[in-house]
Copies of this chain bind each other. A is one copy, B any other.
Amino acid sequence: MGAQSQQPCLGVIACGGAMPITVCEAAAAQGRRVHVVGFSGLADPRIEAFSHDWVRIGQLGGLLAALKNAGCVDLVIIGTMRRPNIWKSGLDLGFFRHLPTIISMTRTGGDDSLLSRIVRFFEGQGFHVRGAHEIAPSLVAPSGPLGGVSPEEGAREDTARGLELLAALAPFDVGQSAVVARGHVLAVEAAEGTDAMLRRCAELRQWGGRKRGGVLVKAPKLGQEMRVDMPVIGPRTVELAAAAGLAGIAVASGKVMIVEQAEMIALADRHGLFVIGADAAADL
């Protein structure tokens, strides 16, 4: 066995967006061998700068073979996903071989448990699933303010209240985010997602006629599968928060991913919104 094959190879399953590229670049910068398997029609063509294969979403057999042929052990699954049209996804024999497992994975439970089962599936195939942030820590929010706007006193109190609320909701597998304005909880996210919650706040503001204020607070749920399902904010979050008349966004530092970070910060500065990585309610 040569030195090359003994070097642990990082497998990256690349879904959409720029985050898979960031992970590959971070791994390469650390001197790690990396092999990307991109979903065709979804992954950024820039993965071709690295050792790579393309598969269709239904080619589970091809995906596993590509990762094993490259000698991958550690595995990162990263990027944006959309619900695939299963009949147009290029199902291969490997898919049908794992079909019983896939069916038992999708039949019961909410999103969390489905994603946990995806992790367990790949671990069962001999891979060690890692969080993208373990390879590329720059993907997650640091502690402290991002961008040029600092939260005012009331915003810090709203953030603390929001974090306390999310902690109280933790046992119920709900509440990845909430909006708090001047001590009042305006909205709590459940199955509708953060974007829909922010749109609702924009409507509330329209009817209430209140002036700008309030904080979007976002943190992972208790037991959330952080390796494949970390909470995410990005430019669209800032746009929606601005439209809702909020003063800023506070996320749990180290536990929330930021997509298109530079663009998001520029947008927040332009809107006069603060974005802050909060360590815990007590640290604000």
Task: Enumerate chain A interface residues (CB-CB to B < 8 A).
Answer: 110, 161, 164-165, 168-169, 171-175, 178-179, 184-192, 196, 200, 203-204
Instruction: Say yes or no: B165 contacts A169, CB within 8 Å.
Output: yes
5 tightest Cβ-Cβ pairs between the two chains A and B: A174-B185, A188-B188, A186-B191, A187-B190, A168-B168
Determine which of B174, B185, B191, B200 lies in contact with A204 in the assembled complex, contact meaning CB atoms within 8 Å. Answer: B191
Instruction: Say yes or no: A172 contacts B185, CB within 8 Å.
Output: yes
A184 cross-chain contacts in B, Cβ below 8 A: 110, 173-174, 191
Q: What is the chain B residue whose CB lies nearest that of A188?
A: B188
Q: How far is the CA of A204 from the CA of B189 in the complex (A)?
A: 13
A186 cross-chain contacts in B, Cβ below 8 A: 190-191
Instruction: Say yes or no: A188 contacts B204, CB within 8 Å.
Output: no
Q: How far is the CA of A17 from the CA of B203 in the complex (A)?
A: 27
Name the prevailing secondary structure of the A interface residues.
mixed
A200 cross-chain contacts in B, Cβ below 8 A: 192, 196, 200
Given contacts A168-B168, A196-B200, A200-B196, contact A173 B185 (CB under 8 A): yes
A168 cross-chain contacts in B, Cβ below 8 A: 168-169, 171-172
Q: How far is the CA of A177 from the CA of B230 in the complex (A)?
A: 28
Instruction: Say yes or no: A188 contacts B174, CB within 8 Å.
Output: yes
Instruction: Say yes or no: B187 contacts A204, CB within 8 Å.
Output: no
Q: What is the chain B residue whose CB lies nearest that of A175?
A: B188
Q: How far is the CA of A187 from the CA of B187 in the complex (A)?
A: 10
Determine which of B165, B173, B189, B203 lies in contact with A172 in the assembled complex, contact meaning CB atoms within 8 Å. Answer: B165
A175 cross-chain contacts in B, Cβ below 8 A: 188
Q: A169-B188, A173-B184, A192-B204 are in contact. List 11 more A-B contacts (CB 8 A).
A: A161-B172, A165-B174, A168-B169, A168-B171, A168-B172, A174-B185, A185-B190, A186-B190, A187-B192, A188-B189, A192-B203
A230 CB to nearest B CB, Å: 20
A247 CB to nearest B CB, Å: 16
A191 cross-chain contacts in B, Cβ below 8 A: 184-187, 204
- Give 5 pairs: A residue, B residue, CB < 8 Å, sorted on A: A110-B184, A164-B172, A168-B172, A169-B169, A187-B190
Which among A161, A164, A172 has the highest number of chain B CB atoms within 10 Å? Answer: A172
Q: How far is the CA of A185 from the CA of B222 in the complex (A)?
A: 14
A216 CB to nearest B CB, Å: 13
Q: How far is the CA of A173 from the CA of B164 in the complex (A)?
A: 13
Q: What is the chain B residue whose CB lies nearest that of A171?
A: B168
Q: How far is the CA of A156 from the CA of B161 in the complex (A)?
A: 31
A203 cross-chain contacts in B, Cβ below 8 A: 192
Q: How far is the CA of A267 from the CA of B60 in the complex (A)?
A: 49
